[in-house]
Structure 1
Amino acid sequence: MNPENFLVRPYREQVEAYSLPDRWQKIAPGVYADLEKLAGLPSAYSDDPAGEEARRFDLLILRLQLACLGAEPGFTRMRVRVQEIATALLGQTTIPLVRAQAELLEELTTDAWWQDVTLPMLESVRLRLRGLIRLIEKGRRNVVYTDFEDELGEISEGGITWQPLGDDFEKKIRTYLRSHENQLAVQKLRRNRQITTTDLDELEQVFLGSGLGTTQDIEQAKARHEGLGLFLRSLTGLDREAAARAFDRFQTGRTLTANQLHFLNMIIDILARRGLVDVGQLYDPPFTQLTPSGPEKFFTASDIDTVESVLDQVRSTAIPASQAM
């Protein structure tokens, strides 16, 4: 605050007093009214460029730190929240800022990182990730911040019951798929080959028989992802070579510009990681980092229609033909 400002001048003594860090070590109840008056005075302070999402993340980490000290309940719920955020960011590693933190993001999704977690470890996570939260794609922000207000005030489960990480169905299935990549059905999912009802039925029986999940877990996954095949594809991703092959016909007989190639490679990178891309995502980060106005800057309407057809075809191979609409 500028003490020479005519609005600040009447409170100059208090402003100067509370500009000293020592005065904030212990706030007596009797001075709250004075501080409220000061809070309304004009200031040269500029708002956080990382946005509201970063401040919410700050508060989430603070509450995790308090939970570590035993002064705050709900550690498991908040840990899962951070892991959801990390998972969402891992889908954005085509953005250099996010890619630079990929190793940390991967570690956050594991059990091991959270064993004996310390306050400095959590503070490091806050500092390294707070500026990235705004880069989470719009389609996943609702998932990441569902009932996030619960973290800001009174705790309310919002109708969701989080299970301990060791019981997390999605993580168990992801681990199974990674360790069984040579299985025919898993190969089909990764190599963009048509999955069948028989393939999915067999996988479902394996999941149930191996205790990886319950019928309810599977049905919930089907409902959230519009089918078991799409759920599994989102976990396996696509083999990058298979993702690139899907666009062979699009590139045949033409020479793409550097910007067009970059844009296309971004699509392929996301397909390799997440297995699916909706054409609407081409108007969201990370694509808007390259062209804020959308793909129309680099491609004709006909080209975009062709790209959409390719993405639809990739999606269709994770849906049995008998279930396709």
Structure 2
Amino acid sequence: MSLEKVKKTPLLSARVFIATYPGMMRIFQQYDVGYFDLIVADESHRSIYNIYGDIFKYFDALEVGLTATPVEMVSRSTCQLFGCDYKKPTANYPLELAISDGNLVPYKVVSYTTQFLRDGIKSEKLTEEQIAELEDQGIDPNELDFEASQIDEAVKNKDTNRHILRNLMEKGLRDIDGQLPGKSIIFARNIAHAELLAELFAELYPQLGGNFCRVIHSKYERAEELIDDFKSTDESSVRIAISVDMLDTGIDVPEVVNLVFAKPIKSKVKFWQMIGRGTRLCPNLYGDGQDKSHFLIFDHWGNFEYFDEDPDEDDVSQSKSLCQRVFETRLALAETLLQRAEMDAFEEVIDLIYEDICALDMNTISVRDNWQDVEVCKDLDRLKTFAPQTKTRLHETIAPLMQWRNVMGLGEALRFDNDMAQLQLMLFTNKSKIDVAKQALIIKIAKLQMHLNEVRAQADAINEIQQDVYWQDLTFFKLEESRKALRSIIHLRKKDTYEPRPEVFIDVTEETDGIQVQERKAKIVSVDYEIFRREVEKTLTPLFETDAVLQKIRSGEPVTEAELEQLNALVHVQNPNVELNTLKEFFPESTETLDKILRTIVGMDRAAIEQAFTDFVQQVHTHLNSKQQRFITLLKNHLVRFGTIQVEQLYEAPFTQIHDGGLDGVFSEAQADVIAQFVQQFGVQLGNRNQNNQQPRD
């Protein structure tokens, strides 16, 4: 049952409930704390934020959090929210393993930057031709001084974005026909940047029509329709989606083969979520039996270099709410007044503190969790005593609870309360600051709209506080009277209007010698190995029938170092990007020779395998029944495909499909021992691949 449909009455008949976080927040207190036995929270990295965390604090149930990108900071930890140690989840299935297991596809990264993207746009670095272009556009080149971080934010250069689009169209992975790029997502900096990219695409490729490349953002009414169109496999569907945050997470389009990072990314969580948009398997993407093997990432902002340095996630502690700031100022004021024996003023402030505490809603889960402290502090006599223990409780427990007060529509009044309390505090701690602090307050009051009856009713108070004499003989109670008179009308003033800074659009040709393109490693071993393995396989496969060294390797025959060097030289001619000796770097623990490692990629020759098994059967004089023959056929196929096998694999799938016991279930003990001994000759001990920091899976 979907909890989104629950209005007022809790459902009691259903056994499984489905809800969004916001939906559950609206109704969770309608249910008893022990109502649910199990709570499964998907995308649980979101739940570390206070508002959703209340759901998990409220219910007494077994809680399971699922996320590909846990947030782990000192002040916010997904693992700790679910009762685990910091950065230590109960179970972890990293991207490294998911790719190695074949459950996700690997990716290639191409860094593509221009001069402007690296260095910004500065007048002193422009060429004569670029200066002339700007002058033709009516722009003074001397006014241009933009850092790289401001590109596509404060200033947008059309030619820079043409390079981004042309690179995708010319270098991106193609569709089944090899004619056009496959499904692609461009991650833009903002809506204006996205719209500029779409406009430039239409200029560059008008023949592709208006639906080939579309901006997808929540501000557009048809955003969900466009997402469905992008997910569609119809030939006329959206092929390139330009996203502004909307497709960064949560979208599942297996056909995506190109990701374009056209913006800088600083959040590690968002970075891996964005990469996850391309990792989905897609069978038969390029025809029957031709699955999606990998996807391509064009990084135009050096994001991979940034995260190579493993920067700490910004750990910004939650800012204090306005109500908490007012409450803490009043606590400081009360403490100062008591110290100076200003008892009448002290009791006045204590009454305000008492009112703040009584305004806390006991139905709020965080307040309810601290109900004992709240009830203790509602004792007015205890508050007036203001003992050290009470002050500690007020600062450490009650003040943070002020964020849960319902102050909708009271923001201006509370800010005014805080301004006045600060001035009252300065009266007793630092009078010299009052002259500066009062200026902002007087300016605010001077903007009250006197034509309004509510404002005019407080004309005397408004006039008084703007006079110099008011400030010459200032007292706590004079400020307090003004606060009470004006707090309810302070919002009725003329608001300052700010003209948004106009966006700067220019069209300056990027220098071609300033473009830097580099294919770089993902720094995740299973990703880099899988990409390299496919490159080696693609290069060697056409040589199976003609190269004698490769034929020896696939037949399981030994080869010399000289023969391997000969093969490596031939490979270099076919593909300069492949250096066979690189394979050994992936397996530093292995003592196997390069030819055997190669065999795990190119597999074994079927004829050689058939001959080896024929000789084996004749030597042991054994007769195979139908099940045993099927088992041996599986074994042959495995060796042809993978070039190696370990004895323990004979007790795993697919061999257990013939019998649950694997080898021992199909053969007698004596036969199994002989087969195990025979199989050992095909083993290649690769050991563990060189490990990097494993990244989350999504």
TM-score (norm 2): 0.28
User: Quick check: 2:568–2:579 contact (8 Å CA) kept in 1?
Assistant: no
- Aligned residue for 2:660, secondary structure, equals coil
Look up the match of 2:646.
278
Looking at structure 2, the residues matched to 76 and 164 of structure 1 have their Cα atoms a distance apart, in angstroms, of 16
1:27 aligns with 2:23: yes
1:305 aligns with 2:673: yes
User: Quick check: 2:559–2:595 contact (8 Å CA) kept in 1?
Assistant: yes
Look up the match of 1:245.
611
Look up the match of 1:188.
552
Distance 1:12 1:298, change over 3 A: farther
Looking at structure 1, the residues matched to 260 and 15 of structure 2 have their Cα atoms a distance apart, in angstroms, of 29
Q: Displacement, 1:262?
A: 0.9
Q: Choose from 288, 291, 315 the match for 1:107.
A: 291
TM alignment of 1:62-211, pairs within 5 A: 63=250, 65=252, 72-74=270-272, 78=276, 106-109=290-293, 160-161=523-524, 168-181=531-544, 182-207=546-571, 210-211=575-576
Deviations 1:235-277 (A, max 9, x none): 1111222222211133224321111111111101111111111
Look up the match of 1:148.
none
Q: Displacement, 1:278?
A: 0.9
Looking at structure 2, the residues matched to 255 and 242 of structure 1 have their Cα atoms a distance apart, in angstroms, of 21
Higher percent of residues as helix: 1
Looking at structure 1, the residues matched to 104 and 558 of structure 2 have their Cα atoms a distance apart, in angstroms, of 42
Deviations 1:204-256 (A, max 9, x none): 44556753245883331353664322221111111222222211133224321
Q: Which moves more between the two structures, 199-208 or 265-274? A: 199-208
Deviations 1:172-201 (A, max 9, x none): 111111121121111112233333322223
Q: Displacement, 1:110?
A: 5.0
Look up the match of 2:595.
229
RMSD across aligned positions (CA): 5.1
1:14 aligns with 2:5: no
Q: Displacement, 1:35?
A: 7.1
User: Quick check: 1:276–1:315 contact (8 Å CA) kept in 2?
Assistant: yes
Looking at structure 2, the residues matched to 246 and 261 of structure 1 have their Cα atoms a distance apart, in angstroms, of 15
The one-letter amino acid of 1:65's match is: D
1:220 aligns with 2:216: no
The one-letter amino acid of 2:561's match is: T
User: Quick check: 1:237–1:274 contact (8 Å CA) kept in 2?
Assistant: yes
The one-letter amino acid of 2:627's match is: N
User: Quick check: 1:189–1:195 contact (8 Å CA) kept in 2?
Assistant: yes
Q: How many residues align?
A: 239
Looking at structure 2, the residues matched to 269 and 53 of structure 1 have their Cα atoms a distance apart, in angstroms, of 33
- Aligned residue for 1:176, secondary structure, equals helix
User: Quick check: 2:604–2:643 contact (8 Å CA) kept in 1?
Assistant: yes
Looking at structure 1, the residues matched to 668 and 536 of structure 2 have their Cα atoms a distance apart, in angstroms, of 40
Distance 1:38 1:291, change over 3 A: same
- Aligned residue for 1:232, secondary structure, equals helix
Distance 1:246 1:108, change over 3 A: same
Q: Displacement, 1:80?
A: 7.9
The one-letter amino acid of 2:562's match is: T
Distance 1:274 1:293, change over 3 A: same
The one-letter amino acid of 1:14's match is: L
Distance 1:38 1:236, change over 3 A: farther
Q: Displacement, 1:282?
A: 0.5
Looking at structure 2, the residues matched to 266 and 163 of structure 1 have their Cα atoms a distance apart, in angstroms, of 26
- Aligned residue for 1:302, secondary structure, equals helix
Distance 1:176 1:288, change over 3 A: same
- Aligned residue for 1:27, secondary structure, equals helix
Distance 1:273 1:26, change over 3 A: same
Distance 1:32 1:251, change over 3 A: same
- Aligned residue for 2:650, secondary structure, equals helix
1:269 aligns with 2:637: yes
Deviations 1:139-188 (A, max 9, x none): xxxxxxxxxxxxxxx9xxxx944698899322211111112112111111
Looking at structure 2, the residues matched to 267 and 74 of structure 1 have their Cα atoms a distance apart, in angstroms, of 38
Higher percent of residues as strand: 2
User: Quick check: 2:252–2:277 contact (8 Å CA) kept in 1?
Assistant: no
Deviations 1:18-38 (A, max 9, x none): 9798x7596163434557958
User: Quick check: 1:238–1:271 contact (8 Å CA) kept in 2?
Assistant: yes
- Aligned residue for 2:10, secondary structure, equals helix
User: Quick check: 2:540–2:602 contact (8 Å CA) kept in 1?
Assistant: yes
Looking at structure 2, the residues matched to 69 and 20 of structure 1 have their Cα atoms a distance apart, in angstroms, of 38
Look up the match of 1:120.
none
The one-letter amino acid of 2:533's match is: E
User: Quick check: 1:246–1:314 contact (8 Å CA) kept in 2?
Assistant: no
- Aligned residue for 1:14, secondary structure, equals coil
Looking at structure 1, the residues matched to 92 and 526 of structure 2 have their Cα atoms a distance apart, in angstroms, of 25
Distance 1:278 1:166, change over 3 A: closer
Look up the match of 1:123.
none
User: Quick check: 1:18–1:24 contact (8 Å CA) kept in 2?
Assistant: no
Q: Displacement, 1:297?
A: 2.3
Which stretches in structure 1 are left out of the alignment for 5+ residues?
Answer: 2-10, 44-51, 87-97, 116-153, 317-325
Looking at structure 2, the residues matched to 185 and 208 of structure 1 have their Cα atoms a distance apart, in angstroms, of 15
Looking at structure 2, the residues matched to 64 and 205 of structure 1 have their Cα atoms a distance apart, in angstroms, of 45
Looking at structure 1, the residues matched to 271 and 32 of structure 2 have their Cα atoms a distance apart, in angstroms, of 29
Q: Which moves more between the two structures, 33-42 or 229-238? A: 33-42
The one-letter amino acid of 1:236's match is: V
